[in-house]
A and B are shown apart, each in its own frame.
Chain A
Amino acid sequence: MVLPYVILLLAFGVAPVVIAIATSLEPSGVNPDGGLGNYLYALTEFRFLPAAINVAIFLAIYLPSMLLVVVSVALMLDNLKPKVTLPLRLAYIVPAALTGSLSVLIWYILLEPTLSPYKDLLIGMGLTKSGQIWNTGNLAIIFVMMAFFTGAGNWIVVQYGSLQSIPDDLIEASIIDGASKFQIAMQIKLPLIRKYLLYMGVLVFAAGLQIFVEPQLISASVFPGLASDWSLNQLSYTFAFASNNLAGAAALSMVLLIVCAVAAILIVFKTDFFDRPKKAGRSK
C-alpha cells in the first residue's frame, strides 16, 4: 500500500536529483571539461555574488520579521477566547489565496499610487510615481512584503494551533503562581512550542532561499529588467534557458538544494521534532 507513494518518491523526489547531479557534471559550452568545474563556474559567475547578496538581505529581513510578527500575533490571539478570534483568523488566511503570479499583480496594484487602496497613504508619503517605489534599492524590502503578506497568515493560524495544544491546567497553575501574561508567554508558552517555531523557521528559510516567482515576473512583464537575475533561482533559470548551460544550471540548483537538504536533515535528526508524535493535546 505504500507502493504508489514510493513510486512517486522515486520518480519525482529521487530521480530528478540523480539526473540533476549527473547533468551538473557534464561538459558545457563554458566548461568543456565538465566535472566539478560546473560548480566552480556557477559559484564564480559574475552574477552569482550579487544574487547571493540579494537573497541574503531578503532572508535577513524576511525570516526575523516573519517569526516576530507570527509569534506576537499568535500569542495575542491565544489570550482571547477562541470564539472571538475566529473571524480574525479567517481574515488572516485570506492573503494566502493571493499567491504566485496573483501576488505580483496584487503588489503592483498596492504600490501603484494611481490605483492603490492605500493611494492616500502613498501620496501622503510623497510617493506619487511608481518609479519612486519600484527601484533596485527597494526590491529586497518589496519582495519581503510580498512573501510576508502571502505567508504570515497561515503561519499565524498554525502557531495559534500549536499554542492551543498547551494544556490549560499548566497555564492556570502559572496564573495562580502569580506569573504575568508576558512571563507566561516567554517562559512557558514559547519554550513549549519551540519545535514548531524551529520547524517554521526552517521552512521559511528554505522557501525564501528559493525565491523566484516575484522577481522573475516583475522583471519579465511589469518593469522589464528591473529584477533580472536578482535571485539565485533566477540565475539558475537564466543559465538553463537563456545561456543554454544546463550543466551550470543543474550545478547551481544542486547547491541550493544541498543547503535546504542540510537544514532539513539537521531538523529531522538533530532535534526531537519528529520523535514523539504522541504529544498530549489540550483536552477540551
Chain B
Amino acid sequence: MTEKNQGQVLAKDSISPKVKFSFGGVATIIFLLAYAVFSVVPMIWLALAPSKNAAELVSAAPMAFGSPQGYLNAWNNLMTFEDGVLVTWIVNSIWYTFLIVTISSLSALSAGYALASTAVPLKRFLLSVTLVAMIIPAVALVLPLFLEVSAIGAFDTPWAVILPSSFYPFGVFLAYIHFSTSIPRDVYEAAKIDGAGEFATFAKIAFPLSKGLLGMLAFFSFSAAWANYFLPYVLLSSSANYTLPVGLGLLFSSTPSLNPLNGAQSSVIGRPEIALAGLLVGIPILIVFLLSSRFLVRGILAGAVKS
C-alpha cells in the first residue's frame, strides 16, 4: 500500500469517525491482518516441517501436519551429525547467552544508575561515547574484535564471544534514562542523608525499583545474543565451541539438505532435520518475545522513557 493510498484510507475513515465500519477502516484492518498472516506463516511452516519426511515436504500441502513421529525421526537423524554435536551447540548457546545476558544487564544497570545519580568523573564524555557506540552496529566491530582476540590468544574460546557480546551501550542508555526520569532524585538524596553509601543506595533503593528495567535489559540482550551469527562465526573455529546459529549454518553448508552438491550424498540430514535445527534457534526467541510482550505492548522507546 502506498503512502497516498494509505492517506486516502485514513482520510476517508475520518469523514465519518463515528461509523465503525467505514470503507477505509475495513481496508486498513484487512491490510493489517494480511500483514500479520504474512508475518507468522514462515514460523508456522518451520514448526510443522519436521513432522513430515523429506518427500512429504514436497508432496503434502505446505501447511499440513505429518506425524509426531516425524520430530523424533528428525532429531535422531540430527544426532548422527558429528556424534550429536547439536547437543553441544544447544548447551553452548544456553550458557554463553546466560552469561552474556547476566554480565551485560548488570553492568548496564549499575553504569546507568551511576551516570544518572552519582558524581562520575568524565560523565558527559562517557555518555557521549555510549550514545555513539550504541548507534554503531555490533557487526562493524567484528573484524577489529577478531584482530584483538587473536592478539591476546583468546581465539576459538567461549570467552571470545561472551565478553565482547557483554558490552552493552544500548542497555546503559536505557538504564540511564530510567534512573534519570523515573526515580525522583530526592529519594537518593534522602538515602544519602540517612548515611547510606553509593552502593547501599543502589542495592536498597534503586535496584528494587528497577525490576521492569532489568527485564527489558535482559530481553534486548537475550534477543541479540541468542541469534548472533557473525561474531561467533568469525571468533570460533572448532565445531565443539559453536553456538546453535553457527551450527545451523554449518549444517546447511556440510550436508546436502539445501544444496545436493554439498557433503555426502548418503547423509541423513535432510530438510526436515534442518527445519528442526532451525526451530531450536527460533523457538526460544519467540517464547521470550511473547513472555516479554508487556514491554512490547507499551512500546520500546516510549517504554524506556515512561516509568
Contacts and interface: CB of A to CB of B under 8 A. Distances in A.
A143 interface: no
Interface stretch (B68-76, B80-88, B124-132): B124-132
B302 A165 contact: yes
A13 B36 contact: no
B10 interface: yes
A168 B249 CA distance: 48
A277 B181 contact: yes
Nearest to A86: B297
B188 interface: no
Interface residues of A, number: 109
Nearest to A241: B234
B164 interface: yes
B135 to A, nearest CB: 4
Interface string A125-146: 0000000000000000000000
Contacts of B285: 96-97, 99
B41 interface: yes
B78 interface: no
B141 A16 contact: yes
A34 interface: no
B143 A250 contact: yes
A114 interface: yes
A15 interface: yes
A237 B302 contact: no
Contacts of A237: 143, 234
Interface string A102-134: 101110111000111111000000000000000
Interface string B126-162: 1011111101110111111111100100000000000
B33 A101 contact: no
A274 interface: yes
B17 A185 contact: no
B114 A196 contact: no
Contacts of B298: 161, 164
Interface string B1-23: 11100111111011101000000
A11 B290 CA distance: 34
Contact of A90 (B10, B166, B290): B290
B135 A260 contact: yes
A104 B228 CA distance: 13
B229 interface: yes
Contacts of B6: 72, 75-76
Nearest to B255: A221
Given A12-B145, A222-B259, A281-B305, A100 B296 contact: no
Contacts, number: 325
Given A100-B245, A109-B45, A250 B147 contact: yes
B58 A115 contact: yes
Contacts of B266: none
Given A88-B32, A101-B229, A210-B140, A15 B148 contact: yes
B111 A6 contact: yes
B140 A2 contact: no
A236 B145 CA distance: 13
Interface string A145-169: 0000100011001101110110000
B299 interface: yes
Interface of B: 1-3, 6-11, 13-15, 17, 28-29, 31-33, 35-37, 39-46, 49, 57-58, 62-63, 103, 106-108, 110-111, 113-115, 118, 120, 126, 128-133, 135-137, 139-148, 151, 163-164, 166-169, 172, 176-177, 180-181, 198-199, 202, 223, 227-230, 234, 245-246, 248-249, 252-253, 258-259, 261-262, 271, 274-275, 278, 281-283, 285-286, 289-290, 293, 296-303, 305-306
26 contacts: A2-B111, A4-B111, A8-B166, A13-B133, A13-B169, A16-B145, A68-B3, A72-B1, A82-B297, A88-B32, A91-B40, A97-B282, A97-B283, A97-B286, A102-B245, A110-B42, A119-B62, A162-B302, A164-B299, A165-B305, A181-B17, A240-B143, A246-B147, A268-B128, A277-B305, A281-B306
Interface of A: 1-2, 4-6, 8-9, 11-13, 15-17, 19-20, 23, 68, 72-73, 75-77, 79-80, 82, 85-102, 104-106, 108-110, 114-119, 149, 153-154, 157-158, 160-162, 164-165, 175, 180-182, 185-186, 196, 199, 202-203, 206-207, 210, 212-213, 217, 220-224, 233, 236-237, 240, 246, 249-250, 253, 256-257, 260-261, 263-265, 267-269, 274, 277-279, 281
